[in-house]
Structure 1
Amino acid sequence: MAQTLRKPEIIAIARREGKVTVDGLVEHFGVAPQTIRRDLTELAESGELARVHGGAILPSTTMNIGYSERREIKQSAKVDIARRCAAEIPNDCSIFLNIGTTTEAVAAELLNHEGLLVVTNNINIALILSGNVGAEVVVTGGNLRRADGGLIGDFAAQTIKQLRFDYAVIGCSALHEDGDILDFDIQEVGISKRIIRQSNQVFLVADSSKFERKAPAKISSLADIDVFFTDRSPTLPFQQFCAATKTRIELCAKR
Structure 2
Amino acid sequence: MKPISRHETEIFRLVTLRGSCSIAELAEQLGVSDETVRRHVRPLVDRGQVEKVHGGIVMPDRLREAPMERRMGENRAAKQAIAAAVAERVDDGDTMMLDTGSTTAYVAVALSRKSSLQVVTNSTEIGRILARQRSNKVYLVGGEVGSDQLATFGPQAIDFVRRFNVRHAILSIGGINTDSELMNFGLDEAEFSRAVIRQAASVTVVADHTKFSRRALVKVCDVADIDTFVTDSRPPEAFCRLLARNDASLMIAGPQDSAQ
TM over 0.5: yes
Name the SS of the counterpart of 2:156 in structure 1.
helix
Name the SS of the counterpart of 1:144 in structure 2.
strand
Q: How does 1:1-255 map to 2 (within 5 A)?
A: 61-255=62-256
Distance 1:178 1:254 in 2: 29
Shift of 1:60: 7.7
Q: Is 1:170–1:203's contact at 8 Å kept on the other side of the alignment?
A: yes
Shift of 1:177: 4.7
Which consecutive segments of 4 or more residues in structure 1 shift more than 6 A? none
Distance 2:216 2:184 in 1: 5
Alpha-carbon displacement from aligned partner over 1:202-255 (angstroms, at most 9, x marks no partner): 111110010110111000011111111100111111111111101111000224
Distance 1:178 1:200 in 2: 25
Structure 1 length normalisation: TM-score? Answer: 0.75
Report % sequence identity: 27
Q: Is 2:66–2:148's contact at 8 Å kept on the other side of the alignment?
A: no
Shift of 1:80: 0.4
Shift of 1:170: 0.3
| Structure 1 match to 2:52 | none
Matched to 2:195, the amino acid is R
Matched positions, count: 197
Matched to 1:94, the amino acid is T
Distance 2:116 2:183 in 1: 32
Matched to 2:76, the amino acid is Q
Q: Is 1:77–1:231's contact at 8 Å kept on the other side of the alignment?
A: yes
| Structure 2 match to 1:22 | none
- Listed as ranges, the gaps of 5+ residues in structure 2 are 1-59
Q: Is 2:181–2:223's contact at 8 Å kept on the other side of the alignment?
A: yes
User: What is the CA RMSD across the aligned residues, in angstroms?
Assistant: 1.4
Distance 1:226 1:72 in 2: 28
Matched to 1:195, the amino acid is V
Matched to 2:232, the amino acid is D
Name the SS of the counterpart of 1:61 in structure 2.
helix
Alpha-carbon displacement from aligned partner over 1:15-54 (angstroms, at most 9, x marks no partner): xxxxxxxxxxxxxxxxxxxxxxxxxxxxxxxxxxxxxxxx
Q: Is 1:182–1:220's contact at 8 Å kept on the other side of the alignment?
A: yes
Distance 1:254 1:189 in 2: 32
Matched to 1:248, the amino acid is S
Distance 1:68 1:184 in 2: 17
Matched to 2:144, the amino acid is N
- Listed as ranges, the gaps of 5+ residues in structure 1 are 1-58
Matched to 2:190, the amino acid is V
Distance 2:90 2:224 in 1: 20
Distance 2:190 2:242 in 1: 22
Q: Is 1:180–1:218's contact at 8 Å kept on the other side of the alignment?
A: yes
